[in-house]
Amino acid sequence: MYVYSYFIDGLLIDTGHSNARKMILSHLTKLPVEQLFITHHHEDHNGNLKALQNHFKVPAYAYTKCANIMKNPPKISFSQWLTWGKTDANQNIIPLDKEISTNKYTFQLIPIPGHARDMVALFEPNEGWLFSADLYIYDYIKFCLRAESIAQQISSLKTALALDFEVLFCSHNPKIKNGKVHLQRKLDFLENFYQTVVDWHHQGYSPKQIRDKMNLPKQYWMRFISGGALSSLNMVKSVIRDEAMIKT
């Protein structure tokens, strides 16, 4: 899976994963970076933060929730470590809540939890740009992390779609044209998925039975190497968990 870092007007948004450090640093260290920003605490977005801080000697920023999590990041699964590498604890991230500016642009920080509780998008209203972190990825998804919330992702997609933008700078699959169209497709998929799971759940079916009825991929190899941290079953369980929380 490709992971993108974006550089604009002195600002570097995300730093890639540590397993690709040599290649990433060979390119990024040539840029006139003046400040760093991390969209959320996942290892494929901040794996080279310390190395770049040491090289550029510039401030690193993140949303307050992210900055706090990065002081003691959670453990990751074997599959995540194998694919992307680890996240190092970092005490030197400056927390922000509203915006981050460069000489030419001002980016509003838009909380978009669901994939990660601390995730934010960067929105430049004058240019119609949305740096959406992992909110989009694809028009649909086949698996998710155990801690993800489908309900929160639906809410975050609605928040993003209310913004006036055209270009979607996704961290894994950017859409230079028709960004809103792709986000809407993702929202439609998740809303349909959510309602289907709820309907089966109310009829008394178990999460595994619902997964099978929906013909979701079982991905035994992924579940095995990740210890269950990544699976299609997690998507079903997330909906059931979210639905229970809504009712309480």
Between β-strands 35-38 and 60-63, what pairing exists: parallel, antiparallel or unpaired? parallel
190 lies in some domain: yes
Predicted confidence at residue 48, as pLDDT, reads 95
Q: What does the block give as tokens for 178? A: 């028709």
Overall pTM surpassing 0.85 (yes/no): yes
Rounded (10°) angle between helices 21-28 and 49-56: 30
**pLDDT digit string, tens, across residues 11-63:** 999 999 999 999 999 999 999 999 999 999 999 999 999 999 999 999 999 99
Q: How many domains does the chain have?
A: 1
Handedness of CA 238, 244, 246, 248 (dihedral sign): negative
Domain that includes residue 44, residue range: 6-247
CATH code: domain of residue 174 = 3.60.15.10
d(CA 33, CA 132): 21
- 82 has which bridge partners? none
Q: Is residue 232 part of a domain?
A: yes
User: Would you say residue 75 lies in a domain?
Assistant: yes
Give the pLDDT of residue 41: 96
In a domain, 202, yes or no: yes
238 forms bridges with which residues in the sheet?
A: none
Residue 56 belongs to a domain: yes
**Domain contains 23:** yes
108 strand-pairing partners: 99, 123
Q: In angstroms, rounded to a whole number, what is the distance separating the alpha carbons of residues 59 and 111?
A: 21
Predicted pLDDT of residue 124: 98
The answer as to whether 1 is a domain residue is no
CA distance 7 to 56: 14
The whole-number pLDDT of residue 81 equals 86
- What is the DSSP-derived secondary structure letter of residue 175? B
Q: With CA atoms as reference, report the closest residue to 189 among 216, 223, 222.
A: 216
Q: State which residues of the chain have pLDDT below 70.
A: 1, 248
- Residue 134 in any domain: the answer is yes
